[in-house]
Every structure is written in structure tokens, then in C-alpha cells.
């Protein structure tokens, strides 16, 4: 009896076992990262350019909350990051309505820990609005004399399918 076929089967089994463990590790990592993936889907970034020079960078993360008919959303919340030379508090509108609260966040604030596109040079604000029932949300961010930009967010149905 030849040992070659038995040896080949053992090697193939070992290889398949390793692939299976690697696949398990990848799936486990993916499960841990679902929240991060969802946040990336809900992040927009725009620049304000003056005299052919970027004068400000605005990033906004929509803090999406699943709809629950028994417990309606209290607020629409965004984390807005502003990178500019000037220390400007943004004026923010959502679908033409003023924010009900704008709070500056410290760089070590736990709410900033997992957000994408974060950097140490930007200033971050938690911005809250009364609930908005429309699927399309237009966030208008104005920065004093630097100008304004609009960012468009959708309350996409496919986000409800991502399980945390």
C-alpha cells in the first residue's frame, strides 16, 4: 500500500482546515465592523474653496437610528467636523429647519471614538434636529464668511437590514 494517497489526503485536510479557520476569523471581524461600515455609508465630506485654495473641509456623519413604530425617533443627529484656519461655529439647517442644539465635542469625547474620517485638527459638533419624516435630508452647513455647502443624506431602507 502506498503512503502517497494517504499523505495527500492528510495535507489537503490540513489545508482545508486552515482555510476554514481563516474564513471564520474574517467573518468574525466583519461582524465586529458592521457598525463602522454603516457609519461610512452615512458620512459625507465637502470642501469650501476660495481663490483656488481650500479654506475649509466639512465632514458630516448622520447618526442613523432604526425606525421603531412603538418608539419614534426623538431627534435627527449628526456629528459635523470642521477643518479650517478660523474657529467657526457652523450654522446648520436640515431641510430648511434650524438645529435645536449644537454642542462642541472635545477631541477625547467617546462619541468620536469610532467615527470614520476623524482627525485631530478638526473641530467636531453634535448637532440635533427635530425628527424629519422625509427620506431625503439636505444638510446645509454655513461657515460665516467662508461660504456654505449642502450634503445630502438618505434614510436608505437597506440600512435597516444591517444587523448589529
**Which CATH number does the domain housing residue 124 bear?**
2.60.40.10
Domain contains 11 = no
Give the total number of structural domains in the chain: 1
Tens-of-pLDDT digits for all 164 residues of the chain? 566 666 566 565 555 555 556 666 655 555 555 444 454 557 888 888 888 888 899 999 988 766 666 666 788 999 999 998 888 889 999 999 999 999 999 988 888 887 777 788 899 999 999 988 888 999 999 998 888 999 998 876 544 444 44
**Half-sphere exposure of 104 toward its Cβ, with a 13 Å CA cutoff?**
9
pTM score of the predicted model: 0.69
Domain contains 21 = no
Domain contains 29 = no
- Round to whole Å and give the CA distance between 159 and 161: 5
Domain contains 20 = no
Domain contains 23 = no
Domain contains 144 = yes
**Domain enclosing residue 93, as ranges:** 42-161
- Round to whole Å and give the CA distance between 153 and 150: 10
Domain contains 109 = yes
Domain contains 153 = yes
Amino acid at each position: 500500500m502506498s503512503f502517497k494517497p494517504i499523505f495527500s489526503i492528510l495535507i489537503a485536510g490540513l489545508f482545508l482546515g486552515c482555510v476554514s479557520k481563516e474564513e471564520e476569523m474574517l467573518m468574525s471581524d466583519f461582524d465586529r465592523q458592521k457598525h463602522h461600515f454603516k457609519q461610512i455609508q452615512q458620512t459625507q465630506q465637502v470642501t469650501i474653496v476660495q481663490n483656488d485654495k481650500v479654506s475649509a473641509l466639512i465632514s458630516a456623519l448622520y447618526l442613523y437610528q432604526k425606525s421603531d413604530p412603538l418608539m419614534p425617533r426623538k431627534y435627527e443627529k449628526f456629528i459635523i467636523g470642521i477643518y479650517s484656519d478660523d474657529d467657526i461655529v457652523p450654522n446648520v439647517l436640515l431641510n430648511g429647519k434650524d438645529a435645536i442644539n449644537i454642542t462642541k465635542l472635545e477631541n477625547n469625547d467617546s462619541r468620536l471614538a469610532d467615527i470614520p474620517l476623524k482627525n485631530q485638527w478638526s473641530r467636531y459638533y453634535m448637532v440635533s434636529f427635530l425628527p424629519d419624516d422625509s427620506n431625503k435630508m439636505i444638510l446645509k452647513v454655513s461657515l460665516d464668511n467662508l461660504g456654505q455647502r449642502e450634503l445630502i443624506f438618505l434614510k436608505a431602507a437597506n440600512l435597516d437590514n444591517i444587523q448589529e
